[in-house]
Amino acid sequence: MAKLTFHGAIEGVTGSSYLLETATAKILLECGLYQGRREEEKQNDNAFPFNIGELDAVVLSHGHLDHSGRLPKLSADGYKGPIYMTNPTAELLEVLLKDSASLQRSDAEWENKRRRRSGKDLIEPLYTAEDVEETLTQCVGNCYGKRISIVEGVDVCFRDAGHILGSSIVEMFITEGGTEKKLVFSGDLGNSYAALLSDPEVVEEADVLLLESTYGDRNHRPMDETLEEFEDIIVEASKNGGNILIPSFAVGRTQEIIFRLGQLYQKGKLKQQAVFLDSPMAIAVTEIYHRYQNVYNTEDAAALGQSKKSSLHTFLPVLRYSTSTAESMALNRIESGAIIIAGSGMCTGGRIRHHFKHNLWKRNAHVIIVGYQANGTPGRALVDGSTVFRTGGEEIFVRAAIHTLGGFSAHAGQSQLLDWVSNFKKPHPRLFLVHGENNAKIALQKHLASAGWSAEIPTKNQSISF
């Protein structure tokens, strides 16, 4: 009998981690960072709650750090086995984990400056660039839809989740005593109205199902309304001459925004002189997106064109990359007519803060918020109407127009989650809700009950047998 233990993304949406144990193997499903409040992030320093030396394999649904970000720590602590994922995820991990290691180093250096002043012991970063390099040698990329054997008695198949490039629904087939059981992990399911990627694949059978519930308590604003407002902002800004600043996440959201700007360009609605992507990380990710156009949905792939040279660049000819610091600084000499996309998505760091310094005080400037802004972040303060933005010890008066667009989400909303689950045949699998705040899980649980499902909400470190 197989055993599954819920180690992470149980009391919130980050730190994804589940341990599958069979008669012949131990497999870790996900190895994510805890993100958010300081007390949550402190959990990243904790020892793993299982014997790393007994692990036979690791399986990863996609590249976002709340699912993958502790892999280098796992390698540094002694895991030397394979890590299975899709091919695009393997490429994205090189970008994401190297950036994460750089941030870990910077955070440790900043903290140690404070500790030296107070005479406290110094700390080490969670992991190093060398740990990341070791992790990358362990990655094994796979195609969608191909069932592979990863250890004796356990096969894995990745299905397209439509969340970010390479994201997958993980099917795990466990054979014991001549009987096969199937565990399905939804991963993060995509928003079917988002650009470029396909809708989440339908899965019809499972014995145990782990379902994400990030937006289990609400639906997203309709995409047509979001795009209409997006167009109105772009047109208004072109008339009054101000620059447009878009804080954006490097993976998924940036590529969606570039595609939507391309649609406006093709319609003749984009009058701005240039669109600048000012994020080395987002540039690297966008190039990976170009290499995997075979996974795009049919409609958007057709819009981009079928030639080998087709890309977001050809769809949006005014797109420019700003790779160096000097190129980024040069953008601040542009008084009007530019759209600047830069990280970080919640305005906590990155080049967007530099551009705010030069534009946020201008009455003809515009800021378009296209992603979730967590409580306590500078981006959330702008959304909530703050009149002052603080950066680098300076206070900048906010005179620019702040626009918040709620429809650009890479996650399935409540109704989309319910629609995806409705494809499972009866008898229903045993269903567990993960990756959600308590209110989201409880709301989704109630809606599932109305549809004839008995959904369970696991507790941290709870184990089940099946």
Determine phi and psi for 395, rounding to 5 degrees. -115, 125
Q: Check whether 98 has a pLDDT greater than 70.
A: yes
pTM of the complete model: 0.93
pLDDT above 60: residue 430: yes
pLDDT per position as a tens digit, 279-314: 999 999 999 999 999 999 999 999 998 555 668 888
| pLDDT at site 306 | 56
Q: How confident is the model at residue 445 (pLDDT cuts 50, 70, 90)?
A: very high
Say how far apart CA 267 and CA 187 lie, in whole Å: 36
Contacts for 217 with CB less than 8 Å, ≥ 6 apart: 414, 439, 440, 442, 443, 444
Assign 3-class secondary structure to 438-465.
Answer: HHHHHHHHHHHHHCCCCEECCCCCCEEE
Q: Give residue 38's pLDDT band: very low, low, confident or very high (50, 70, 90).
A: confident
Can you name the residues that pair with 247 across neighbouring β-strands? 342
Is the pLDDT at 24 greater than 60, yes or no?
yes
Residue 310: CB atoms within 10 A of its CB come to 16
Confidence of residue 7 (pLDDT cuts 50, 70, 90): very high
Average pLDDT (106-131) is: 92
> What's the CA gap between 54 and 369, in Å, rounded?
45
C-alpha span between 63 and 67 (Å, rounded): 7
pLDDT the model gives residue 305: 82
Question: Mean of the pLDDT values across residues 194-219?
Answer: 97
pLDDT, the chain, mean: 94
Q: Strand, helix or coil at 211? A: strand
Q: For the residues of 222-241, what is the DSSP string, one character each? A: PHHHHHHHHHHHHHHHHHHT
pLDDT at 88: 98
pLDDT more than 70, % of the chain: 99
pLDDT in tens, 305-363: 855 566 888 899 999 999 999 999 999 999 899 999 999 888 988 899 999 999 999 99
Contact 299, 192 (CB under 8 A): no
Instruction: Please tell me the predicted confidence (pLDDT) of residue 86.
Output: 98
Which H helix or E strand runs over 254? helix 253-266
The CB density around residue 59, as the number of other CB atoms within 10 Å, is 24
Contact 286, 312 (CB under 8 A): yes
Domains of the chain, start order: 3-218+410-465 (3.60.15.10), 223-404 (3.40.50.10890)
**Using CB atoms within 10 A of its CB, is residue 14 exposed (0-12), middle (13-18) or buried (19+)?**
buried
